[in-house]
Amino acid sequence: MKIKAIALDMDGTLLTSNHHPSERTKQFLLELEKKGVAIIIATGRAYYSTLPIIKEIGLETGFVICYNGANVFNSKDNSVVFQRNLEEKYVKEMIKISRETKTHLNLYQDDILYCEDITRNEVKYYCDKCSIDAHEKDFDTFQNYSMPKNLLLLPMKNLLK
């Protein structure tokens, strides 16, 4: 049976601890692609944070599964192939929980990361790790609350309480 496609997670799989693929991995993936194997990136990240990695490797295959499966993009033309966002009621409940617990919340809409306070350490760490920028916004000012991903960020010790 011929392999037609492989899907790879980015963090902890495709990328090394320095957040880049190794030269060996790049060459291997390009060889597979030349043989007709579709290379699919599957990640919890935003789409725009995957593009530099795709470019660094030199992939031409095109499909990127983002936001833990909520959106699928074709990187050849940046089109959305599939989209399933969270419903407004769930997003608003996450905002409420975040504010009640004073826990940092990332909201994603139109492939943009929004935070209410971009000066928090959690934001800097997350943005550095994922090579993305955060935009400060009052979460009460969204006109539409349909979003592919929300992420609460807090120290591990707080999770274990």
Is the pLDDT confidence value at 159 over 80? no
Relative to beta strand 104-109, strand 63-66 is unpaired
DSSP string over 60-112: -S-EEEEGGGTEEEETTTTEEEEE-PBPHHHHHHHHHHHHHHT-EEEEEETTE
Please give the structure tokens belonging to residue 157.
């010790």
Catalytic residue, from 9, 11, 77, 117: name it.
9
Kindly report the number of other CB atoms within 10 A of residue 81's CB atom.
12
Q: What tokens were used for 146?
A: 């349909």
Pairing relationship of beta strands 104-109 and 149-153 according to DSSP bridges: antiparallel
Q: Which H helix or E strand runs over 27?
A: helix 23-34
Q: Does residue 25 have a pLDDT over 60?
A: yes
pLDDT tens-digit map of 92-107? 999 998 998 888 899 9
CA 84 to chain centre: 14
Q: Where are the domains of the chain?
A: 5-83, 88-159
Judge whether 9 counts as a catalytic residue.
yes
Residue 155, pLDDT > 70, answer no
Residue 66 sits at φ, ψ, to 5 deg, of -120, 170
Give the model confidence (pLDDT) of 37-58 as tens digits.
Answer: 999 999 998 898 898 899 999 9
| Banded model confidence at residue 156, pLDDT cuts 50, 70, 90 | low
Q: State which fold the 5-83 domain adopts.
A: Rossmann fold (3.40.50)
- Report the distance separating Cα 133 and Cα 148, nearest Å: 17
**Which of 81, 83, 63, 84 is closest to 8 using CA atoms?**
63
Q: What is the CATH number of domain 88-159?
A: 3.30.1240.10
Who wins on pLDDT, 142 or 153?
142
